[in-house]
Amino acid sequence: MSIFEQLGSLTAVKKLAEEFYDVMETDPEVIELRAIHPGKLHSSRKALYKFMSEWFGGPTLYGEQYINATWLELRHRRFCINDQQRDQWLYCMNKAMVNLQYESKLRNLMLGRFSDMIKSMQLQRRHVEQEKAEQMARIR
């Protein structure tokens, strides 16, 4: 059963994206993460909702070619995705799922998926930075 089927509907995915950003907007534990997001979160909320719908096996609202760590890392290139940012992002997602009373089995499965995606983005970032450093070394 896909995660989308377990969530049950697009409305459930939208609720999760909204709750995630509500936590980010109100919880003092994540001020560093909030600070790198735009003042208004309207388009961030929409983008995460569409991304999650497709990534979890639901309607393809985001664009098949973009649902991967390489593209997602590219879209996050201008932001720091260090361990503090990772922990604050996962904190918001976990708290959102607790607030929406997700069963712990589904919540842990989804946290694992998000955590793996962040790990892949961090690895991709390291790879890109290493390539850049090697290029610079070759130029010198």
Of residues 2, 43, 65, 101, which one binds ligand HEM by CB under 6 A? 43
CA–CA separation, 134 and 122 (whole Å): 18
How many angstroms separate the Cα of 42 from the Cα of each of 21, 48, 109, 116? 9, 10, 27, 26
Of residues 15, 91, 114, 120, which one binds ligand HEM by CB under 6 A? 114
How many binding residues for ligand HEM (CB under 6 A)?
Answer: 20
CA–CA separation, 86 and 84 (whole Å): 5
- Under the binding rule (CB under 6 A), the answer on residue 91 touching ligand HEM is no
- Under the binding rule (CB under 6 A), the answer on residue 20 touching ligand HEM is no
Q: Which tokens sit at 124?
A: 């991709």
Of residues 5, 25, 60, 79, which one binds ligand HEM by CB under 6 A? 79
CA–CA separation, 76 and 70 (whole Å): 10
Residues that bind ligand HEM (CB under 6 A): 33, 36-38, 43-44, 47-48, 51, 72, 75-76, 79, 81, 85-86, 89, 114, 117-118
